[in-house]
């Protein structure tokens, strides 16, 4: 509400001289307009005034007056002083606590680098937290809520480079010891030190969300906020009290992932989401927008996207100046200055600021006449003023209907003085000389004796001190420590392989038709969703390809999640048809649209619910395999760091199996990249029974046994006869370990060597065909192995080898691979729809000649038959490679090989697929 004082102020404004375009309008006319405005404001208040102005604008449009679009507001705080709430805490004590945290955060980095200097210092960052200490401390003291019995807790995405500040606070809170701080960035052995950035993989009781790969925290936070609503709307968990906070750098905002999903947040009315952008105007090398204004640019983007945007630009010291800025000249001047110049002011002395900033206009000069140069230097930016920050957080958390972004202006390296404050080198500052340390101590009143300063002791107030009591009381009241990762002890009752949903797949197609592993997967997931004990925990996530995977019936059976339900009559619901595009408030399917990064973010949110919400959820993210690892590889890496659980399902896999789509779609290398992700278990199954066995075991390992791993499954869209699961104990074990003997033919008469053929995915069928050709045409018997996972075999082999290396006098351990191949001498021939490096992982342990066929080179559109010949992985090429290998063993006549090529229809001078 406009107070009388404010109205009086406006009176002054109305009498101010008119500038610019309005000069041509009659003064009296203008006065009348101003008076009307004042009158309405006085009688009805700002809200009604706003409505009236909007109405006037609409009327003007109607009369043909085009209004210029402006998404931004003047360069001042969004919240006027009159609306600023009373600060609920003790600012003095909070300042002291914050100062100790600043000191320890700085000391931690400087000491770690000194300690490790001789061995190549370990690095670290001081300046990011120096600029954001107030932003965090206000939240720690008044907003961040821990997870407790009646509150699912706030989810806080901390800016990665600010981690020393979080460790420093945890030290005061008694969660970390001095020894932990001493070992910042010295993490071996595990548990003794502190990780560089937020890494749940490395500090599993502490960090929840990896953020340091810029842009990923922002997008994950949006989808996390939406996932909280999903849990709520599906009636699974009351998440209504939880907020998602994300602290970002202004430089980080340039990552496309940062802004790429902001409209989802407003479309979904995510008022449980608060972003705090630390606008210190600098990134690593220099200014974020030297010649522009990042805060204004972001305001325009966020307001345009429908966010509630709160600017916190100026500290309280500026308020009296604004109060006297009757004609808006100060605000206008503030709007004229670009960020590069603001950075210059942040390192300049008072007289420069006076002459350069205020000196352009005598009236502005007069505004600051009464202020000393020293005072001018110390006038804070908004992000360093707890009262302004509190006001913004309060408004953000009270806001309804839209997410909030707070654009807080700060100074990078605040308090570091010459060592980096506002300097372009601030980001990399990790050294402080004695003089700088002394200044720091003095500026923040750190109670450390001057002669001890050089040693940079960590400072913790005595137990029972006012500060410790305050710190504890605040966190106790807010539900405990943050960040804090707490894993649920809940174990799910997962279906066994005997359950009908799997048993059906184990029987195969029984000669009644053909099926692909993709369709088998579709049946399995729908069976799981119907399962009585875990059905509601399944979270199917699909970007926009359910129809491609033949899973569209899921839409109507389970509904597509939509916070708004379905406000339209779906076009495909004709004559009461049961299969249609059904959106529902409690829908189970997350249909993310053409947005693999967003879908991956949902996968992470659901797959970490067991630790972040205390409830196991089972995400299956089904996507075009080509647009997985190489498109969102960094998010998959983040998922691994997050200790995610769930299944990534690369649909339409295979360089030659997805035959028509061509170069950009045909994937032959995701299995290779999958190998590089430590907790990821990857399989490339050929048959529905293999797929079932793997999924059942995955469910058991992750949700019944509690292992913190996740899965990657290649599924294909080629239909063929699905065999029944062969008899024998070795089959299930082999499927899970990575290989089992699938089919054998008898050795021919006098056959000296027995070839061992490896096949995976759809190409196993080609290998089986090669086995037949070898037998029928050349009288050679061989064994065919189904290799379900080269990466699992490789990991097991590496582990055995490592153990043997380090225990030279003990009985050597045998890897599963060695056990399987014992007594065989090869030759070995592997064929798959992947690049050669996938089977090549095993080369060093294969006891004989090893020929690997694969799909190295760009894919292209053709029939599967032609493509498999092009890449030389079909049955004929596998047959030939086997005979050629036997020739090298001396058990086949080499001279016959050119004739065999002809016989098999293989052109020796055909194009090389690797370079084609």
- Pick the closer one to Mg ion by CB: 298 or 694: 298
- Pick the closer one to ligand TPP by CB: 432 or 695: 432
Residue 284 interacts with, from Mg ion, ligand TPP, none (CB under 5-8 Å by kind): ligand TPP
Chain centroid, CA 160 distance in Å:
12
Q: Is 650 in the site for ligand TPP (CB under 6 A)?
A: no
Binding residue for ligand TPP, selected from 239, 258, 266, 282, defined by CB under 6 A: 282
Report the site for ligand TPP in 359-418 (rule: CB under 6 A): 412
CB of 204 to ligand TPP, least distance (A): 22
CB of 430 to ligand TPP, least distance (A): 13
State the Rg of the chain over Cα.
33
- Pick the closer one to Mg ion by CB: 163 or 280: 280
- Pick the closer one to ligand TPP by CB: 408 or 551: 408
CB of 828 to Mg ion, least distance (A): 55
713 with 696: CB under 8 angstroms? no
* Total Cβ atoms within 10 A of residue 551: 23
343 with 422: CB under 8 angstroms? yes
Q: Is 280 in the site for ligand TPP (CB under 6 A)?
A: yes
The span of 16-24, 283-291, 547-555, 841-849 binding ligand TPP (CB under 6 A) equals 283-291
Q: Is 602 in the site for ligand TPP (CB under 6 A)?
A: no
437 with 156: CB under 8 angstroms? no
Q: Is 756 annotated as a binding residue?
A: no
Q: Is 575 annotated as a binding residue?
A: no
For 215, half-sphere exposure in the C-beta direction (CA atoms, 13 angstrom radius) is 14
152 phi, psi to nearest 5 deg? -75, 0
Residue 252 interacts with, from Mg ion, ligand TPP, none (CB under 5-8 Å by kind): ligand TPP
At 787, list the tokens. 């290799």
Residue 128 interacts with, from Mg ion, ligand TPP, none (CB under 5-8 Å by kind): ligand TPP
CB of 432 to Mg ion, least distance (A): 20
Q: Is 211 in the site for ligand TPP (CB under 6 A)?
A: no
* Alpha-carbon distances of 487 from 19, 100, 147, 167, rounded to whole Å: 63, 31, 12, 21
The span of 208-216, 330-338, 364-372, 533-541 binding ligand TPP (CB under 6 A) equals 208-216
- Pick the closer one to ligand TPP by CB: 253 or 367: 253
- Pick the closer one to Mg ion by CB: 279 or 584: 279
- Pick the closer one to ligand TPP by CB: 343 or 657: 343
CA atoms of 895 and 883, how far apart (whole Å): 11
CB of 290 to Mg ion, least distance (A): 13
* Total Cβ atoms within 10 A of residue 43: 10
At 55, list the tokens. 């109405």
At 108, list the tokens. 């931690």
Q: Is 249 in the site for ligand TPP (CB under 6 A)?
A: yes
Binding residue for ligand TPP, selected from 111, 161, 537, 860, defined by CB under 6 A: 161
- Pick the closer one to ligand TPP by CB: 7 or 284: 284
Question: Which strand (E) or helix (H) includes residue 310?
Answer: strand 308-312
DSSP code, position 770: H
# residues contacting ligand TPP (CB under 6 A):
19
Q: Is 252 in the site for ligand TPP (CB under 6 A)?
A: yes
Q: Is 212 in the site for ligand TPP (CB under 6 A)?
A: yes
CB of 380 to ligand TPP, least distance (A): 17
Q: Is 278 in the site for ligand TPP (CB under 6 A)?
A: yes
Q: Is 283 in the site for ligand TPP (CB under 6 A)?
A: yes
Considering only CA atoms, which of 604, 638, 703 is closest in space to residue 244? 604
Considering only CA atoms, which of 313, 507, 496, 269 is closest in space to residue 401? 269
* Alpha-carbon distances of 251 from 128, 213, 259, 328, rounded to whole Å: 11, 12, 12, 30
Helix (DSSP H) and strand (DSSP E) numbers for the chain: 35, 18
HEC assignment per residue over 576-587 = CCCCCCCEECCC
CA atoms of 361 and 17, how far apart (whole Å): 15
HEC assignment per residue over 679-696 = CEEEECCCCHHHHHHHHH
The span of 25-33, 277-285, 453-461, 620-628 binding ligand TPP (CB under 6 A) equals 277-285
CB of 838 to Mg ion, least distance (A): 41
- CB-closest chain residue to ligand TPP: 249
Residue 410 interacts with, from Mg ion, ligand TPP, none (CB under 5-8 Å by kind): none
423 with 417: CB under 8 angstroms? no
List contacts with Mg ion (CB under 5 A). Answer: 249-251, 280, 282
CB of 673 to ligand TPP, least distance (A): 18
DSSP code, position 812: P
Residue 385 interacts with, from ligand TPP, Mg ion, none (CB under 5-8 Å by kind): none
CB of 123 to ligand TPP, least distance (A): 11
Q: Is 198 in the site for ligand TPP (CB under 6 A)?
A: no
Q: Is 540 in the site for ligand TPP (CB under 6 A)?
A: no
Give the three-state DSSP class for 9: helix
The span of 243-251, 353-361, 711-719, 904-912 binding ligand TPP (CB under 6 A) equals 243-251
Strands lying side by side in the sheet with 244-249? 155-157, 244-249, 273-279, 404-409, 308-312
At 469, list the tokens. 């009591």
Residues 6 or more apart whose CB falls under 8 angstroms from that of 315 comprise 379, 380, 381, 382, 384, 385, 388
Binding residue for ligand TPP, selected from 210, 251, 540, 738, defined by CB under 6 A: 251
* Total Cβ atoms within 10 A of residue 315: 22
DSSP code, position 155: E
The span of 13-21, 207-215, 513-521, 825-833 binding ligand TPP (CB under 6 A) equals 207-215
Q: Is 478 in the site for ligand TPP (CB under 6 A)?
A: no
CB of 416 to ligand TPP, least distance (A): 13
741 phi, psi to nearest 5 deg? -75, 125
Q: Is 250 annotated as a binding residue?
A: yes
CB of 161 to ligand TPP, least distance (A): 5
- Per 3-state DSSP, what percentage of the chain is helix, strand, and coil (rounded to 5)? 45, 10, 45
Q: Which residues are part of a known binding site?
A: 250, 280, 282
The residues that touch ligand TPP, with contacts defined as CB under 6 A, are: 128, 131, 161, 212-215, 249-252, 278, 280, 282-284, 288, 412, 427
Binding residues for Mg(2+): 250, 280, 282
């Amino acid at each position: 509400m406009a107070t009388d004082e404010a109205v009086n102020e406006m009176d002054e404004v109305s009498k101010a001289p008119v500038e610019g375009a309005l000069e041509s309008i009659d003064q009296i006319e203008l006065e009348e307009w101003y008076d009307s405005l004042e009158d309405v404001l006085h009688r009805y208040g700002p809200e009604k005034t706003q409505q009236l102005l909007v109405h006037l604008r609409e009327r003007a449009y109607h009369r043909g007056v085009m209004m210029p679009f402006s998404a931004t507001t003047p360069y001042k705080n969004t919240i006027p002083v009159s609306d600023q709430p009373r600060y609920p805490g003790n600012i003095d004590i909070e300042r002291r606590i914050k100062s100790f945290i600043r000191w320890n955060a700085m000391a931690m980095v400087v000491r770690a680098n000194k300690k490790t200097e001789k061995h190549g210092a370990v690095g670290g960052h001081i300046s990011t937290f120096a600029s954001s200490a107030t932003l965090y401390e206000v939240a720690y003291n008044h907003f961040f809520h821990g997870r407790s019995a009646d509150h699912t807790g706030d989810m806080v995405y901390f800016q990665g480079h600010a981690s020393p500040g979080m460790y420093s606070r945890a030290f005061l809170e008694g969660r970390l010891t001095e020894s932990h701080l001493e070992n910042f960035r010295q993490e071996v052995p595990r548990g003794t030190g502190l990780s560089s950035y937020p890494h749940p993989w490395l500090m599993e009781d502490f960090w929840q969300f990896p953020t340091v790969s810029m842009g990923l925290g922002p997008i994950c936070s949006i989808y996390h906020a939406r996932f909280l609503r999903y849990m709520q709307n599906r009636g699974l968990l009351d998440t209504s009290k939880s907020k998602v906070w994300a602290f970002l750098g202004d430089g980080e905002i340039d990552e496309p992932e940062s802004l790429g999903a902001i409209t989802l947040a407003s479309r979904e009315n995510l008022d449980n989401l608060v972003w705090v952008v630390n606008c210190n105007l600098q990134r690593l090398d220099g200014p974020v927008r030297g010649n522009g204004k990042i805060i204004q640019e972001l305001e325009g983007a966020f307001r345009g996207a429908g966010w509630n945007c709160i600017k916190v630009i100026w500290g309280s010291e500026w308020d009296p100046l604004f109060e006297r800025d009757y004609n808006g000249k100060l605000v206008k001047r503030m709007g004229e200055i670009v960020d590069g110049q603001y950075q210059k002011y942040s390192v300049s002395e008072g007289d420069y600021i006076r002459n350069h900033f205020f000196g352009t206009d005598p009236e502005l000069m007069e505004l600051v006449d009464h202020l000393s140069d020293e005072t001018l230097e110390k006038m804070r930016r908004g992000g360093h003023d707890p009262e302004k920050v509190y006001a913004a957080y309060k408004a953000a958390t009270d806001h309804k209907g839209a997410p909030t972004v707070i654009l807080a202006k700060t100074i990078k390296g605040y308090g570091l003085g010459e060592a980096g404050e506002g300097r372009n080198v601030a980001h990399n500052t990790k050294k402080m000389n004695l003089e700088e340390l002394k200044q720091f101590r003095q500026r923040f009143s750190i109670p450390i004796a001057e002669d001890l300063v050089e040693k940079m002791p960590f400072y913790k107030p005595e137990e029972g001190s006012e500060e410790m009591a305050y710190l504890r009381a605040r966190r106790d009241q807010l539900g405990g420590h943050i960040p804090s990762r707490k894993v649920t002890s809940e174990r799910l009752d997962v279906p066994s392989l005997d359950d009908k949903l799997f048993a059906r797949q184990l029987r195969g197609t029984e000669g009644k038709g053909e099926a692909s592993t993709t369709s088998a997967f579709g049946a399995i997931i729908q069976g799981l969703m119907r399962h009585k004990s875990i059905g509601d925990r399944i979270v199917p996530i699909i970007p926009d390809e359910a129809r491609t995977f033949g899973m569209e019936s899921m839409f109507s059976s389970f509904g597509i999640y939509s916070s708004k339900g379905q406000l339209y009559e779906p076009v495909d619901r004709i004559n009461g048809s049961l299969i249609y595009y059904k959106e529902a408030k409690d829908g189970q399917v997350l249909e993310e649209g053409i947005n693999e990064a967003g879908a991956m973010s949902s996968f992470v949110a659901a797959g970490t619910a067991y630790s972040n919400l205390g409830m196991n959820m089972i995400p299956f993210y089904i996507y075009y395999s080509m647009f997985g690892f190489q498109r969102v590889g960094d998010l998959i890496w983040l998922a691994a760091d997050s200790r995610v659980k769930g299944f990534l399902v690369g649909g339409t896999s295979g360089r030659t199996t997805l035959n028509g789509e061509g170069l950009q779609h045909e994937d032959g290398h995701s299995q290779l990249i999958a190998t590089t992700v430590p907790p990821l278990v990857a399989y490339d199954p050929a048959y529905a029974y293999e797929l079932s066995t793997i999924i059942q075991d995955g469910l058991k390992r992750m949700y019944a046994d509690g292992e913190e791993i996740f899965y990657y499954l290649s599924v294909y869209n080629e239909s063929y006869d699905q065999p029944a699961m062969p008899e024998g104990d070795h089959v299930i074990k082999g499927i899970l370990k990575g290989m089992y003997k699938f089919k054998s033919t008898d050795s021919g008469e006098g056959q000296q060597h027995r070839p061992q053929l490896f096949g995976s995915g759809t190409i196993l069928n080609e290998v089986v065909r090669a086995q037949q050709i070898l037998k029928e045409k050349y009288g050679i018997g061989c064994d065919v192995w189904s290799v379900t996972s080269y990466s699992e075999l490789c990991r097991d082999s590496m582990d055995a080898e490592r153990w043997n290396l380090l225990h030279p006098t003990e009985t050597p351990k045998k890897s599963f691979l060695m056990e399987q191949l014992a007594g065989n001498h090869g030759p070995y021939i592997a064929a798959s729809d992947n690049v050669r490096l996938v089977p090549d992982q095993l080369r060093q342990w294969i006891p004989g000649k090893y020929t690997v066929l694969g799909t190295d080179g760009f894919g292209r559109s053709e029939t599967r038959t032609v493509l498999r010949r092009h890449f030389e992985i079909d049955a004929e090429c596998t047959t030939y490679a086997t005979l050629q290998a036997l020739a090298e063993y001396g058990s086949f006549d080499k001279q016959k090989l050119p004739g065999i090529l002809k016989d098999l229809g293989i052109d020796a001078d055909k194009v090389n697929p690797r370079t084609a």
